[in-house]
Structure 1
């Protein structure tokens, strides 16, 4: 097995993603553009998007990291709009895009057109999360988009299977499709509910952080694989497990959380970068398979399908946003009033991604070559079109609509109040413990415990105070800078002592780890 193409893909995509952080261009868009350009360089390996790799090996960890970073409580509060998008919109887009393709493309069978509709229906979890992080969308819109992108793949994959069965002559019916969807959804959620408690118990009872993080890396694959073996939705199983574990992450020990955060950041960075680069690298493969649909007509079909995909989202989102409030007094009482600006951004933030391409590549050879190749081409052009057109214009659109920014002072005040309550509880607990003679400590160590607690309590309040007139720093920033300077001085001494053989490397590593933890604590208190 030649691993060089894989190493080149990972290294190249990581380098481009790192470079994107220094430019105004969104990383997904730059990765796709570079992938498109690189795909025509002579000697570049052929990177065929294998659905047997993407769906079971790339999709679970990407879904897991996105879901575990999401808020279960926020998603529950926005469950109705999330369900309308992740289920209602996907089915609506499947029918609308499929019918439009059937009308536009001469000779394209309706079942094959519906396969295309199902393939391009779901906005991508990776793209939505990446753009939401970059542009700083309001929290409610971000929650809705993330929730939609986490759940809509299950709807799209089920709709795809039903349409594909009709397209290849397996006699699929709408009643059977509804039953299959119910089985996949209920089964996926059920598998997630069954697995989440035992997996959480394992996470909290393994005493070794390395074992706990190894388990963390295996969890999305276990949830996905068990659900798929049960003919249920692996997507929903991963999301349910990840939401539960993320909601109860505070029960895991601190060392595991520190390692896990670093590990999953690295995994998400590498996979997201490789996924978007892979999208761009598919162009030669897609064009080679276009066959009888080459020429101006193929371009026209691509533009028409792209426009239908974009318009269909507007047609669904605006009624789905405002009609339920008009029809239900209960919804008006429980939910905040949506705005046309929010509906505009939700409608425009419908980028498609690697899941659509992977499903298209999974279409079996039992479908006629002409429709199969055309579906692959139209899926590719729709993915590229949404990433380029919507990905480029979404940030300026948000700036143009002038969404109110987050109230940083109010957030800091809420954080300070929460810290004050926690500090009072900690101080009472400390006094209670020190009253027991078994916990007796020398006065300097008692004072140190109180000082650390007071520092943590005051750190947030200081961010509301005035800045240093000379440096422009807040008290908090100055504290962090001085702490780092002191730790840096200690670190240099330890290295010098090692170099002169006063201490060995094992002792150096132990001392440096202690300083690293202190520096991390100082940074977190200040940040």
Structure 2
């Protein structure tokens, strides 16, 4: 990474940290800061390298999102996700391309379709980052997450086909369809092969640091391998991520804890870097429009921005309700979503860095050596669409959610489900402890046998687990006061705090060295993690 990009990454993380501390929308503020900083005299351009985005930024973000996704939820919503992730990008590319062909002077149809494919896919980073912060219902997040995992593959494949036609290589509709299907199938195969191989290797290693290191490299290696065999790198990464996510239960606890912490940290860095990088592209794009009419290109960009937002609604309402009107089985199986929920899904179609990366990847010249037609205009319009959707839709999405009362109520449902499962798990544990107690009674005559004491301790721990799960369903401590379990938790935290302070004092006094201190702190950290599993 060059020095300017390193500085951008450092600044992006610092700004994002401040935003999170004060509950602000980091993606939107980072874009605005990038727009402002880019115009500072002497700052210089920070070029967006398409390979940096497509090979180093996109894969880990897609992989992380796939690992956090529910295969069952995606499968249950496969029709809706398919319409959003495959049908909508293709329809958007065609409609936006035709509008661009009509409004942008001198742009050939093939180049206009390239622009349509470039701005067609909503961005995985934007949808997930803003949706998580706003607390969207799980079904909406499942649809947006499933869409964002797969729509890049659809749009980028359409982009390749349109680009081939624009630069002079032949690409018929049949060839394009074959290319699309081959890329999708190839990505699926590559993702499954890599996922199975990595799962076997990680289980065989039984080495948490190396297992996590391998997990970090999976997304990059999978994407590169798929692209080398002309398959869809996006589908390959998503497939590997979903496969390994479902197999994570076979990993040790240390690996799962490390994987989760490392992925969240990488996501935070990359998301912040991406949004700041988007804003910094403005000056270079404006200079590329030398000789063009500012008023005309601005009007063109606004028109295409409006079409980009509008075509999503034109597609999404019929795609939601027509299948239910035409199929009685669907009507009986599924409850029709509220129109307000459909609106929120439509309004959450922010574009992001993938669109900019695809635009910057457009070659400067075509097959015969002449300049690529309207390339500066395509870059500028893409930037306006990306920033416009982020600022217009991103800043108002929260207001619409509050206005329509679209909020997730899964927290209570999750608590009920967890409490029920914890109750069953606790009762099964108690049956196991009963067997242990019976075996100990048959072997030991001493009532003070240490094994009996351990069984009693474990029985109390299991009971506490069940009590905590049910207590969380009741009224809060502000109305009923501190529960016995909460009091015990608080005292345990205070004990751990005192013990940490003593170990540090012992090190400072020279009675133990740093290695002993680190070992002690690791033990205390594990004890705190057990007592406070949601603390991270």
Give the TM-score band, short-chain normalised. over 0.9
Provide the residue aligned with 2:277 in structure 1.
Answer: 278
TM-score by length of 2: 0.94
Question: Paired residue for 2:531?
Answer: 522
Runs of 4+ deviating beyond 4 Å: 433-441, 466-477
Whole-Å separation in 1 of the counterparts to 2:206 and 2:412: 40
Spell out, residue by residue over 1:93-130, the C-alpha distance to the aligned partner (whole angstroms, 9 max, x if none).
Answer: 00000000101112211100000000000000000001
Q: Residue 27 of structure 2 corresponds to which residue in structure 1?
A: 28
Q: 1:448 aligns with which of 437, 454, 457?
A: 457
Q: 1:292 to 1:478 in 2, by over 3 A?
A: farther
Quick check: 38-47 or 242-251, which moved more?
38-47
Q: CA deviation at 1:5?
A: 1.9
Deviates more, 1:219-228 or 1:397-406: 397-406
Which structure 2 residue ranges, 5 or more long, are not aligned? none
Q: Is the CA contact (8 Å cut-off) linking 1:476 and 1:526 kept in structure 2? A: no
Pick closer, same or farther for the CA change 1:25–1:434 going to 2, 3 Å: same
Distance in 2 between residues matched to 1:339 and 1:480, nearest whole Å: 42
Q: Which moves more between the two structures, 394-403 or 405-414?
A: 405-414
* Counterpart secondary structure, 1:140: helix
What does 1:422-501 correspond to in 2, within 5 Å? 422-433=425-436, 435=438, 441-468=450-477, 473=482, 475-501=484-510
Q: 1:28 touches 1:273 (CA, 8 Å); kept in 2?
A: yes
1:268 aligns with: 267
After TM superposition, give the deviation of residue 339 of structure 1 in Å. Answer: 1.5
Could you tell me whether the CA contact under 8 Å between 2:111 and 2:373 is conserved in 1? no
Tell whether the 8 Å contact from 1:5 to 1:45 is kept in structure 2 after alignment: no
Measured after TM superposition, the shift of residue 370 of structure 1 is 4.7
Matched with 1:355 is 354
Q: How does 1:313-352 map to 2 (within 5 A)?
A: 313-352=312-351
What root-mean-square deviation, in Å, do the aligned CA atoms of Structure 1 and Structure 2 show? Answer: 2.0
1:413-428 alignment runs, 5 A limit: 413-428=416-431
**What is the distance in 1 between the residues matched to 2:169 and 2:305?**
29
Q: Distance in 2 between matches of 1:29 and 1:514?
A: 40
Contact in 1 for aligned 2:137/2:410 (Cα 8 Å): no
Q: How does 1:371-450 map to 2 (within 5 A)?
A: 371-403=374-406, 405-406=408-409, 408-433=411-436, 435=438, 441-450=450-459
Mapped partners of 1:472, 1:434: distance in 2: 36
Q: Which residue of 1 aligns with 2:238?
A: 239
Residue 68 (str. 1) matches residue 67 (str. 2) = yes
In structure 2, C-alpha distance between the alignment counterparts of 1:208 and 1:335, rounded to whole Å: 45
Matched residue SS, 1:65: helix
Separation in 1 of the partners of 2:534 and 2:62?
30
Partner of 1:173: 172
Distance 2:331 2:421 in 1: 30
CA distance in 2 between counterparts of 1:469 and 1:131 reads 31
Looking at structure 1, the residues matched to 256 and 324 of structure 2 have their Cα atoms a distance apart, in angstroms, of: 41
CA contact (8 A) 1:36 1:280 kept: yes
| Aligned counterparts of 1:24 and 1:494: Cα–Cα separation in 2 | 35
**CA 1:526–1:512: 2 relative to 1, 3 Å:** closer
In structure 2, what is the Cα distance between the partners aligned to 1:128 and 1:497? 49
Alpha-carbon shift at residue 167 of structure 1 (Å): 0.8
Is the contact made by 1:463 and 1:474 (CA closer than 8 Å) also made in structure 2?
A: no
- CA distance in 1 between partners of 2:248 and 2:472 (Å): 27
Q: How many residues align?
A: 526
1:510 and 2:519 matched: yes
Does structure 2 conserve the Cα–Cα contact (< 8 Å) formed by 1:468 and 1:475?
no
Q: What is the CA distance between 1:373 and its match in structure 2?
A: 1.0
Q: Is the 8 A contact 1:292 1:370 kept in 2?
A: no
Q: What secondary structure, in the 3-state scheme, does the structure 2 residue paired with 1:322 have?
A: helix
Name the structure 2 match of 1:156.
Answer: 155
Give how far 1:70 is off: 1.0
Distance 1:151 1:80 in 2: 13
Partner Cα distance (1:361, 1:434) in 2? 69
Q: Deviations over 1:355-397 (max 9, x none)?
A: 0000000001224345111111100000000000000000000
Q: Aligned equivalents of 2:127 and 2:6: distance in 1?
A: 26
8 Å CA contact 1:467, 1:474 repeated in 2: no
Distance 1:474 1:162, change over 3 A: farther
| Range moving further from structure 2, 4-13 or 374-383 | 4-13
Moved more, 17-26 or 283-292: 17-26
**Contact in 2 for aligned 1:16/1:31 (Cα 8 Å):** yes
Q: Which of 310-319 and 40-49 deviates more? A: 40-49
Contact 2:61 2:125 in 1 (8 A): yes
What residue number does 1:118 align with?
117
Normalised TM-score (structure 1):
0.96
CA distance in 2, matches of 1:130, 1:512: 33
Q: Which secondary structure state, in structure 2, belongs to the residue aligned with residue 291 of structure 1?
A: coil
Offset of 1:88 from its aligned partner? 0.2
3-state SS, counterpart of residue 533 of structure 2? helix
Distance 2:479 2:74 in 1: 45
Judge conservation of contact 2:503–2:517 (CA < 8 Å) in 1.
yes
* DSSP 3-state at the match of 2:374: helix
Inter-partner Cα distance in structure 2 for 1:317 and 1:469 = 44
2:47 corresponds in structure 1 to 48
